[in-house]
Amino acid sequence: MSVSGVLPFLLVLCEICTAGAVVGCIFTLLACYLVVRFSGAGEPRSGAQPPVTVLKPLHGAEPSLSARLAQFCEQDYAGPVQLVFGTPREAAAAVVRELKAEFPDQAIDLVVDRRSHGSNGKVSNLVNMLPHAHCETLVLSDSDIVVGPDYLRSVAALLEQPHVGAVTCLYYGIGEGLWSRLSALTINSNFLPQAILAASLGLVQSCCGATIALRRSMLERIGGFAAFTDVLADDYAIGAALRSFGYEVVTAPFLVGHRCFEASLRQLVRHQMRAARTIRSIEPIGYAGSIITHPWPLALLGALSGSGTAGLVAAAALASRLALCLCVARRFGLARQDYWLVPIHDTIAFAVYLAGLFGTTVHWQGSDYRVTPDGMLIEHDAEDLTMGRL
């Protein structure tokens, strides 16, 4: 392309970005409306509180891990509760042993098992833990989840409905340092409203690792945890498998907290990149279309043309993003959000989005993996070894 042809092309590109930002503002305002209206699944009439086993896969001695695990020992639940904690690492095991001493009357089982059954370390952990579970009702919950005292009672009641194959919970982010607060902002201003919008419009039934409650017989019907040991988005795959049998995955009408631990920009980008490429592996067209969820960076690109209209759109885009954060905080009673971080966050998030359109590598729990087109995980070391043998 000649130099004379470059300028018109760039101006057209700026106009496209401005138009995309306008659509993004409308989309963001729609998300605001749906967030305010969000109710999740209706409260069930059943007050059943059957025996339940909580499966908590642990990776390491995360900050405040003991306090989060203790919340599961302090549930307002009439039925028997068994807690099964699984880890391949001694550091997390030590935290569980202290918990057992603190709650001697609580049924707590600790499974320390290094056996790997596939590339997904969390699911391998669950495979090792499952034989120790005694109850038909299972509740899976990640180690970074914060819950209230009525958590198990609400989830178990929802699962009692005959058409329900699993119950899941959406979640909000909790961060303390700068990078973890940016990570929490990604959850609160991107993931959460987009999940609510998708559920409200009937586009996707969420199934989040923050909570998956299901019956053991149902888990066995979909192949057990062993069927998901090489899958990146294991929570999504479990939900899809249940729906393939005609069952519903319902979203609880309350949120749980998700504690963020990122301590550096590198950790933040790695985490967000894994999330981006996970979504792209599940729904590539939807991921590409999600560019409209970045109205402020798009408007800034459009403003490079020098157009006053693009500048006004940029101001409107930032205002709409701040309004969305405010709606999320007020609807769910969250602590005051870091509104001043929104422009910084949105710039980083847009860069991650663009990078997520390309490449297949993700970093997870200290290892690098390649994501195949069907969403399977292949560890780089294992792949290199296999290629060396061929």
The pLDDT of residue 292: 93
Q: Return the amino acid letter for 107.
A: A
Q: How far is C-alpha 223 from the geometric centre of its chain's CA atoms?
A: 23
Q: Name the nearest CA neighbour of 107 among 125, 88, 129, 134.
A: 134
Measured between alpha carbons, how far is 80 from 67 in angstroms, rounded to an integer?
Answer: 21
Query: Using CA atoms, how far apart are residues 142 and 151, in angstroms rounded to an integer?
Result: 14
Fold of 52-265: Spore Coat Polysaccharide Biosynthesis Protein SpsA; Chain A (3.90.550)
Q: In terms of DSSP bridges, do strands 164-168 and 107-112 run parallel, antiparallel, or are they unpaired? A: unpaired
Count the neighbouring beta carbons within 10 Å of the beta carbon of residue 24.
Answer: 26
Structure-token pair, residue 54: 């909580």
pLDDT score of 166: 95
Residue 304: the pLDDT is 85
CA distances to 74, 97, 99, 141, 283 from 104, rounded to whole Å, are: 12, 10, 8, 22, 46
**Given this model, what pLDDT does residue 337 score?**
79
Note down pLDDT in tens along the chain; length 390 residues: 454 556 777 888 888 999 999 999 999 999 999 999 987 665 665 677 899 999 999 988 888 899 999 999 999 999 999 999 999 888 889 999 999 999 999 999 999 998 988 889 899 999 999 999 999 999 999 999 999 999 999 999 999 888 899 999 999 999 989 999 999 999 999 999 998 988 887 776 678 889 999 999 999 999 999 999 999 889 999 999 999 999 999 999 899 999 999 999 999 999 999 989 888 888 888 889 999 999 999 999 988 877 778 889 999 999 999 999 999 999 998 888 788 999 999 999 999 999 999 988 888 777 788 888 877 888 765 444 343 433
3-state DSSP helix/strand/coil % of the chain, to nearest 5: 55, 15, 30
Question: What SS3 class is residue 61?
Answer: coil
Q: Give me the sign of the Cα torsion angle 109, 111, 117, 120.
A: positive
Cβ atoms 303, 15 nearer than 8 A: no
pLDDT value of position 43? 60
